[in-house]
Amino acid sequence: MNERGKFRYALLLAGTLFTAVPCFAAETVEMRINRLEQELAELKALVQTRPAAPATVDTAAPIKKAEPSTSLPVSVGSGVKVQLYGFVRFDTSYDTGTIYPGNIALWAQPENGRTHDGEWNLTAGATRVGLNLSGPDTESMKLTGNIEFDFLTGISTENNQAPRLRHGYIKAYYPASDFSIIAGQTWDLVSSLIPFVDDPALIWDAGNIGSRHPQIRLTKGFATGEKSRLELAVAASRTIGERTANQTAALQNDTGKDAAIPSIQGRIALSTPLLVATQPATLGLSGHYGQEEWDTNGTGSYKTLDSWSCNLELSMPLSEKMLLAGEYFTGSNLDDYYGGIGQGVNSAVPTDPKEIRSNGGWGAIRYTINPSTTLSLGAGLDNPNDNDLAAVARSRNQTIFGNVITKLTPNLILGLQLSDWKTEYKGASEGDALRTQTSLTYKF
């Protein structure tokens, strides 16, 4: 092959190669596109089978306020959902006089000429643990339950406190008819409001009555308007009485258990917007009746004593940030409900015990400064009938309080409260004390 032929052959070969490159390139790109589409489909399928990952946050973005943690319910083998909740709480208080029992405030002890009677109290007894139970439901019924404990008992030492059952009940609710049944231990129907205090004792024996009892309760609701509701409730509850003092320990019996009937409680309440369209006011009327059987000797003689109350309650929003609330009570033999300053029966004469009548109430106003902070002021009074009291019995108990409660974080709460306590005694010196207390609560 001469030089001219070689040159022509080289040009032909080069042209063939250059024209072939786009064919090979096109084939390679098409193959890669097909492979990428297949991989993308596989990734989409994988993402759909996994829970969504939290979105990444740009480090330059402003830090948002932490949201409160919410506990997710856990289903157990029976299909019941269980949700753990509660809080760790630490309370400290300083009293200028002696306040009974100390960790909480019920009344001031008589001074009897004593001075320098200041006391410190530090406790974690108000720490609380609970379980909310729910399901399985039926087409017409929603089933729930609650178990809750704290450690505010008087049967243990300050650093070795025993648990105390607060709530333990089952609730069956029928939404179609707005009807529910509760069986177990929970709050009483009487005087159902909670004062705006930062003391776990809730100014019991100083104007606020109502406790927790084992009971069977029926509740029926009625819609009375677009935003109004009437509620009727009745309950048969356990009567808890005293141990009679005139018998030997072997013969002593609970006077409430010894009675022939349980205590009957009832409540009617109307909730409807009044001054604030978005916040309903509630007006309630409640009461109870029960009996105690007091053995007057060891041969079978006894006396039946009544326990009863009639109570009014009001919760009234004055504005979107201000709430007024209060209760009034009257009745007799109310120690089982934290009335009568813890005195229900005058048994100074063992063969002729008598009920102690009492009346009183509380009122308070709460102002929401911002979503995290509230300011509350209020007072309470319990005033037994002096004619029913034995010598040196507590004859009048009053308190005035003010507090600020603020959320340092959505789960950490700080409370500061100042309260003045004055307790009078029949034929004895009065008790007077100023209590300064703080609380730190970590909710979960």
Residue 54: inside a domain: no
CATH classification at residue 141:
2.40.160.10
For the chain, the domain total comes to 1
Residue 247 and residue 254: Cα distance in Å, rounded? 12
Q: How many CA atoms lie within 13 A of 297 on its CB side?
A: 4
User: Residue type at 322?
Assistant: M
Query: What is the per-residue pLDDT for 51?
Result: 44
Q: Are strands 357-370 and 373-384 parallel, antiparallel or unpaired?
A: antiparallel
pLDDT in tens, 226-256: 999 999 999 999 999 875 555 455 456 788 8
Tell me whether residue 329 is in a domain: yes
Residue 7 lies in a domain: no
In a domain, residue 217? The reply is: yes
Give me the percent of the chain exceeding a pLDDT of 90: 71
What distance in Å separates the CA atoms of residue 339 and residue 165, rounded to the nearest whole number? 21
Q: How does residue 411 score in pLDDT terms, banded at 50, 70 and 90? A: very high
41 domain-assigned: no
User: Is the pLDDT assigned to residue 69 strictly greater than 80?
Assistant: no
Dihedral sign for Cα atoms in the order 36, 39, 45, 49: negative
Minimal CA–CA distance to 413: which of 88, 84, 194? 88
For 201-240, b/e burial (b = at least 16 CB within 10 A) is bbbbbbbbbbbbbbbebebebeeeeeeebebebebbbebb
For the ranges 70-79, 97-106, 244-253, 382-391, the lowest mean pLDDT is seen at 244-253
Q: For residue 194, report the phi and psi dihedrals to the nearest 5 degrees.
A: -110, 120
Helix (H, G, I), strand (E, B) or coil at 42: helix
Please say if the pLDDT value at position 116 is more than 80. no
pLDDT score at 75: 72
Q: Is residue 73 part of a domain?
A: no
Q: E strand or H helix at 15, and its extent? A: helix 3-48
Please tell me what DSSP assigns to residue 2: -
Nearest to 395 by CA among 359, 371, 362, 363: 359
Q: Which pair of structure tokens corresponds to residue 411?
A: 């789960």
Q: Decide if 220 is inside a domain.
A: yes
Show the tokens assigned to 256.
Answer: 């409430």
CA 13 to centroid of chain Cα atoms:
91
33 three-state secondary structure? helix
- 362, two tokens: 């509380």
Residue type, 259: A
DSSP string covering 119-138, please? EEEEE-TT-EEEEEEE----
List the domain range (segments joined by +) for residue 96.
Answer: 88-443
Mean pLDDT score, 34-50: 50
What count of residues does the chain have? 444
Cα 340 from chain centroid (whole Å)? 25
The SS3 call for residue 188 is coil
Residue 293 lies in a domain: yes
Predicted pLDDT of residue 39: 54
